[in-house]
Structure 1
Amino acid sequence: MSEKRIIKCPNCGVFNTNKEYCTNCNTLISHQKKRELKEQDSKQQRVEEAIYEKENPKLAERLKKHPFFLYRIAGWILYSAIMVVSAIGAGLAWFIAMIAAG
């Protein structure tokens, strides 16, 4: 038994039965189709972000892979400095949270 879905088009006001698009103005009216399209857009955006990150690495990562050894050393020093500063920041955040918790 198929269920009848009657949806009013928000654009032109025509009532449509079991349609994804309005028969009058061709506006997308199916909520399920809207969710599917939004999910596809979200997946595509995550893929594009991953491709961008892969093709455009950070400065320290580029320097660590540089063919000239002095640049590689500078890259490792920069990377290590970033890690140390991050560890100190995380420790301070933990310490402040412990003080605030009592």
Structure 2
Amino acid sequence: MNKLKTSSNIKCKECGVFTENADYCKNCGALISHKIERELRETAFKKEQIEEAKRALENPNLPTRLMQHPFFLYKIIGWILHSVFLIISAIGALLAWFIAMVAAG
């Protein structure tokens, strides 16, 4: 079977020259392929997400850092702060549930 190959004429954003069936401009060498641009953006976005996750792992919050401290008094303060945060979160969740039940009738 003969496959028909479609030609794509893309205008360069940099110099305005039309280039046929190429990923880069034949005149200035700028990237003109939309597919490659999209892949580059996706790769950059994934790298950014990985870096953000690394920062979150490397920089834990204050109670977690205190719970891992070698001095026992700091560990106790860390556990107290962690417990207070947990209790406040539970109270907030209960309050949100109660308001939702009252609003539902």
The answer, yes or no, to whether TM exceeds 0.5 is yes
With structure 2 as the length reference, what TM-score do the two structures score? 0.83
Local SS of the residue matching 2:26: coil
Moved more, 90-99 or 60-69: 90-99
Moved more, 72-81 or 17-26: 17-26
4+ aligned runs moved over 4 Å, structure 1: none
Instruction: Assess, with a 3 A threshold, how the Cα gap between structure 1 residues 98 and 8 changes in structure 2: closer, same or farther.
Output: farther
Report matched runs for 1:40-59 at 5 Å: 40-59=43-62
AA in 2 matched with 1:69? F
Number of matched pairs? 102
AA in 1 matched with 2:38? R
With structure 1 as the length reference, what TM-score do the two structures score? 0.85
Q: What is the aligned-residue RMSD (CA, Å)?
A: 1.7
Q: Cα offset for 1:69?
A: 0.8
Moved more, 89-98 or 29-38: 89-98
AA in 2 matched with 1:58? N
AA in 2 matched with 1:57? P
- Computing the radius of gyration from Cα coordinates, the structure with the larger value is 2
Q: Distance in 2 between matches of 1:42 and 1:65?
A: 32
Gaps of 5+ in 2: none
Which residue pairs with 1:19 in the alignment? Answer: 22
Instruction: Assess, with a 3 A threshold, how the Cα gap between structure 1 residues 10 and 63 changes in structure 2: closer, same or farther.
Output: same
Gaps of 5+ in 1: none
Instruction: Assess, with a 3 A threshold, how the Cα gap between structure 1 residues 101 and 18 changes in structure 2: closer, same or farther.
Output: farther
